[in-house]
């Protein structure tokens, strides 16, 4: 009997890193995979990346538009309510065997709430991790609502156990974002820089800085601090625009009012292959994206992690944590540029998560009893 899986996706980031896993699952006998699209995917201001989902060849079972324009804490909260309504309707209509969600976004919280109440087992990827800021409590809330946990590291497994989750519901699979990234970034440096529209004969910085919801009022000043540090370094910068969280408008306004070094460019969105290529060939990555914490280590890319958004995340020696202050950012950038590539030892997995995840999706026990959850202590 075929198991029907719905994957809920809200951003370019989660879909790009999950695509190899979704395709592997779709090719697994006994599994049928479809995608429910919401959030930033349906926003023209974020590249209308629903087109990439459609182009993937995976069937799209629903498109659930949310308010991505207002970008305040209140609009994020009401967005969860709107997403909850949409996902509930979807699950009632489709009645899949499993709902698959990843990470800590509000859309995933809405999905987990809907699945629990409709009686659909929810499988959560990347639970049990620490990060700090609003993301961490949302991530842990999703874990408590979910039926099964496919975690990236043993550390995450141990944390879920301490949170009272049952051992037989937790499986260490590695980070799915590591699957296939080396083959995605095969282009040599000169070809990659031409494709990225950057000076071929220069070192460059990859920057991706998202707002911290609880510090939305400081987003402009934090962006200005990063811009000042980059100006002092003077290398061309490839800067990707932020997500739609509260404070993102202030980041965009600071970018519009400021200036990046000569040869730099800004991008609303890069397709996954181009982004991974940029991570591989940049001389340093700066900002607060989880990609700098998780995927960049597979290339030994030096990373400067700025501010609070990822401050508690487990990471390798390639990542330097600094406050959002110009002098601290500049010093860390110079240190990382002088150091160069780090050993390619990634604590987040071996790039074989898709096989493990697909096997589990095909074999995890189902039935009404799995929806009965209590803390182990």
pLDDT tens across 278-296, in order? Answer: 999 999 999 999 999 999 9
Domain membership flag for residue 345:
no
Asked whether the beta carbons of 340 and 302 are under 8 A apart, the reply is yes
What is the number of residues in the chain?
377
Q: What was the pLDDT predicted at 1?
A: 86
Residue 376 domain flag: no
Query: Which domain CATH number covers 96?
Result: 3.40.50.2000
Q: What is the mean pLDDT of the chain?
A: 95
% of the chain surpassing 90 pLDDT: 89
pLDDT band at 304 (very low <50, low <70, confident <90, very high): very high
Do 194 and 282 belong together in one domain?
yes
The answer to whether residues 15 and 53 touch, using CB atoms and an 8 Å cutoff, is yes
pLDDT tier for residue 175 given thresholds of 50, 70 and 90: very high
Same domain flag for 19 and 120? yes
- Position 18 scores a pLDDT of 97
**Domain for residue 346, yes or no?**
no
pLDDT band at 55 (very low <50, low <70, confident <90, very high): very high
Question: What is the token pair recorded at 99?
Answer: 């709902």
pLDDT the model gives residue 345: 82
Per the structure, the count of domains in the chain is: 2
Q: Residue 160: what pLDDT?
A: 98
Q: How confident is the model at residue 23 (pLDDT cuts 50, 70, 90)?
A: very high
Residue 134 has pLDDT above 90, yes or no: no
For residue range 192-212, list pLDDT tens digits in order. 999 999 999 999 999 999 999
pLDDT tens across 361-370, in order? 999 999 888 9
In this predicted structure, what is the pLDDT of residue 161?
98
What tokens does 174 get?
A: 């590695």
Total-model pTM = 0.93
Q: Are residues 97 and 213 in the same domain?
A: no
Q: What is the pLDDT of residue 350?
A: 94
pLDDT digits (tens, 9 = 90+) for 72-117: 999 999 999 999 999 999 999 999 999 999 999 999 999 999 999 9
On whether both 301 and 356 belong to a single domain, the answer is: no
pLDDT at 256 over 90: yes
In terms of C-beta density within 10 A (0-12 exposed, 13-18 middle, 19 or more buried), how is residue 104 classed?
buried
* Residue 359 CB burial class (10 angstroms; 0-12, 13-18, ≥19): middle
Res 262: pLDDT: 96
pLDDT of residue 37: 97
> In terms of domains, do 166 and 202 share one?
no
| 31 and 53 part of one domain | yes
228 shares its domain with 94: no
Whether 19 and 155 share a structural domain: yes
168 and 218 both lie in a single domain: no
Q: Is residue 377 domain-resident?
A: no
Does residue 133 have a pLDDT over 90?
A: no
pLDDT of residue 110: 98
Neighbours of 360 (CB within 10 A): 15
* Residue 71 pLDDT: 87
Query: Tell me, what's the pLDDT at 217?
Result: 95
In terms of domains, do 222 and 251 share one? yes
- Note whether 129 and 254 are same-domain residues: no
* Mean pLDDT (whole number) for 47-58: 94
pLDDT of 118 > 90? The answer is: yes
Whether 108 is in a domain gets the answer yes
DSSP β-bridge partners for residue 266? 239
Q: Are 321 and 331 in contact (CB under 8 A)?
A: no
Provide the token pair at 8: 């809920």
CA–CA distance, 145 with 260 (Å, rounded to integer): 43
Does residue 97 sit in the same domain as residue 224? no
- Domain range for 53 is 3-180+351-371
Q: Which residue has the higher pLDDT, 132 or 123?
A: 123
Dihedral (C-alpha) 305, 309, 313, 318: value to the nearest 10 degrees? -10
Is there a domain that residue 344 lies in? no
In a domain, residue 255? The reply is yes
The average pLDDT across 340-349 equals 91
Mean pLDDT, rounded, for 18-34: 97
Lowest mean pLDDT among 131-140, 144-153, 244-253, 330-339: 131-140
**Does residue 230 sit within a domain?**
yes
């Amino acid at each position: 009997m075929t198991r029907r899986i719905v994957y809920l996706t809200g951003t370019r980031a989660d879909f790009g890193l999950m695509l190899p896993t979704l395709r592997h699952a779709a090719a697994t006998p006994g599994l049928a995979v479809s995608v429910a699209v919401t959030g930033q995917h349906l926003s023209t201001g974020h590249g209308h990346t629903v087109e990439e989902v459609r182009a993937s060849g995976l069937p799209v079972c629903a498109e659930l538009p949310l308010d991505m324009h207002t970008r305040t804490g209140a609009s994020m909260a009401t967005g969860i309510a709107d997403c909850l309504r949409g996902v509930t309707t979807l699950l009632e209509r489709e009645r899949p065997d499993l709902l698959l969600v990843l990470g800590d976004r509000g859309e995933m919280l809405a999905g987990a709430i809907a699945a629990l109440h409709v009686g659909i087992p929810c499988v959560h990827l990347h639970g049990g991790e620490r990060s700090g800021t609003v993301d961490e409590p949302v991530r842990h809330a999703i874990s408590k609502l979910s039926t099964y946990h496919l975690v990236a590291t043993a550390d995450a497994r141990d944390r879920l156990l301490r949170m009272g989750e049952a051992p037989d519901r937790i499986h260490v699979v590695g980070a799915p974002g590591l699957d296939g990234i080396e083959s995605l970034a095969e282009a040599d440096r000169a070809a990659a820089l031409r494709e990225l529209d950057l000076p071929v004969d220069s070192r460059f910085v990859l920057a991706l800085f998202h707002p911290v919801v609880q510090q939305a009022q400081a987003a402009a000043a934090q962006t200005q601090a990063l811009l000042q540090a980059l100006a002092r370094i003077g290398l061309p910068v490839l800067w990707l625009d932020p997500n739609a969280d509260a404070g993102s408008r202030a980041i965009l306004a600071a970018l519009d009012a400021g200036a990046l070094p000569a040869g730099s460019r800004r991008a609303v969105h890069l397709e996954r292959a181009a982004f991974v290529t940029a991570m591989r060939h940049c001389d340093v990555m700066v900002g607060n994206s989880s990609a700098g914490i998780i995927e960049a280590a597979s290339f030994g890319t030096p990373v400067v992690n700025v501010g609070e958004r990822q401050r508690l995340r487990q990471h390798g020696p390639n990542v330097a944590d600094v406050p959002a202050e110009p002098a601290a950012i500049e010093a860390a950038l110079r240190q990382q540029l002088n150091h160069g590539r780090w050993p390619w030892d990634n604590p987040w997995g071996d790039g074989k998560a898709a096989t493990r995840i697909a096997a589990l999706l095909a074999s995890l026990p189902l039935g009404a009893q799995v929806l009965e959850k209590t803390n182990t202590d």
